[in-house]
């Protein structure tokens, strides 16, 4: 692969990335884990979500060998 084709490929990928970032919502938060008032919306989402069913208890290894 020549240097010219590598440069063209990088430019195409940069252009595609820029296009997707501009056309997307743009609501990207790279701040990490939130605590306090910023995380209030997560508590509301947890209340609205249905509870996950409990997993059945696994049989003991001693019973499996019998």
Compute the distance between CA of residue 35 and CA of residue 43 in angstroms, rounded to an integer. Answer: 11
Q: Give the model's pLDDT for residue 5.
A: 96
Compute the distance between CA of residue 8 and CA of residue 2 in angstroms, rounded to an integer. Answer: 10
Is 44's pLDDT higher than 80? no
Is 43's pLDDT higher than 70? no
Tens of pLDDT, residue by residue over 2-39, are 999 999 999 999 999 999 888 887 677 778 887 777 66
Q: Give the model's pLDDT for residue 16.
A: 95
């Amino acid at each position: 692969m020549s240097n010219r084709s590598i440069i063209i490929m990088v430019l195409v990928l940069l252009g595609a990335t820029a296009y997707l970032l501009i056309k997307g919502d743009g609501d990207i938060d790279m701040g990490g884990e939130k605590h306090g008032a910023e995380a209030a919306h997560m508590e509301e989402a947890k209340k609205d979500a249905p509870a996950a069913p409990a997993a059945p208890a696994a049989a003991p290894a001693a019973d499996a060998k019998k």
